[in-house]
A = this chain, B = another copy of it.
Amino acid sequence: MTEAAFAPVPLRWLGPVRISGNVMNGEQEVPLATYETTLWPSVRRGAHVSTMVDGGIRATLIDERMARSVLFEADDAGSALAAARRIEADLPALQAVVSATSRFATLIDINHQIVGNLLFLRFEFTTGDAAGHNMVTLASDALMAHILDRESALRYGSISGNYCTDKKTSAVNGILGRGKNVVTEIVIPEEILRRRLRTSASALAQLNVRKNLVGGAVAGSLRSANAHFANMLLAFYLATGQDAANIVEGSQGFTHAEERGDDLYFSCTIPNLIVGSVGNGKGIDAITENLDRLGCSEEREPGENARRLAVLCAATVLCGELSLMAAQTNPGELMAAHLQFERTSR
């Protein structure tokens, strides 16, 4: 391999986003690193709207966990089931195995699936401030060794059985959880909708039903009804040193909007937001600096910095989703905005 170099992805700090909720309250500037630079003014428009509304964007952390599934082979389903029951009954011992691999990894749940003679065990962990990919692989290695020692009917299948699942579409991640599950919400008065977003509550709520819900269903989407979560997730992940391939599962989320009189209730639900404030990628100077500036490298309880990061990311997603959706309520506006920004930024 030739020596390491750097891919310089353009990055900008947008204006502040106003956030309240069960993780943080306040305003914070957010960065987006992307080659698609027309994303900046669009997300910024949403960010600006958040500062005009009381409380801004409410962000609620619903759940957090990291998962790894392992695969065992048995002779038949009967022995797979018997083993699964013993293993799940042995949770405290397994928790001890995990704790010996890392002081931040805690095993919180186990799920199994049996297909013929194959046993898939899905281990679920909390992982402190790390996204936890490596932490749970290390823990699962130890768990497999522990189990193979005790269960003579089981044989090694794979350290990853794709029932985790990492960086691939799935339903399991949304249903059982993987990463931070964050809901962001905002209620926007009619006047701001009209003046800042050139739209109305009814137009935007209707577009959400037709495009994101019906259009998504028609396209054969899976647990996914949104316009472009992936764009903001990618740009935020790159700006903060995340394993950005996790936008695959991050993209599977829901935009839900309702009219409240003439005002608009607008929300983004991101069930699989996978971020960490420590781990791979975080040692690069520019990334360290970005995390500092985001207030995500403070002395806090383990997990608090990562939760703050997740909420900032989720709020940023809402800003971009709101802005694009508003633009699409009007014929021609999307392209016009693209062209204008490209002209002015030359």
Contacts and interface: CB of A to CB of B under 8 A. Distances in A.
Interface of A: 1-15, 21-22, 29, 33, 35-37, 40-41, 44, 58, 60, 62, 69, 71, 73, 76-78, 81, 113-118, 120, 134, 137-138, 141, 144-145, 148, 156-176, 183, 185, 207, 209-231, 233-234, 238-239, 241-245, 247-248, 251-252, 254, 256, 258, 265, 267, 269, 280-281, 284, 286-287, 290, 328-329, 331-332, 334-335, 338
Contact of A244 (B15, B41, B138, B244): B244
Of A14, A162, A247, most B-chain CB atoms within 10 Å: A162
A214 to B, nearest CB: 5
Contact of A168 (B9, B114, B251): B251
B164 A219 contact: yes
Given A8-B8, A77-B58, A245-B234, A338 B137 contact: yes
A175 to B, nearest CB: 5
A6 B1 contact: no
Contacts of A36: 243, 245, 280-281
A117 B185 contact: yes
Contact of A210 (B157, B168, B238): B157
A120 B215 contact: yes
Given A35-B244, A234-B244, 10 more contacts: A4-B37, A7-B239, A8-B286, A37-B280, A77-B269, A115-B269, A160-B227, A171-B221, A173-B219, A175-B220
A181 to B, nearest CB: 8
A47 to B, nearest CB: 9
Nearest to A170: B219
B12 A3 contact: yes
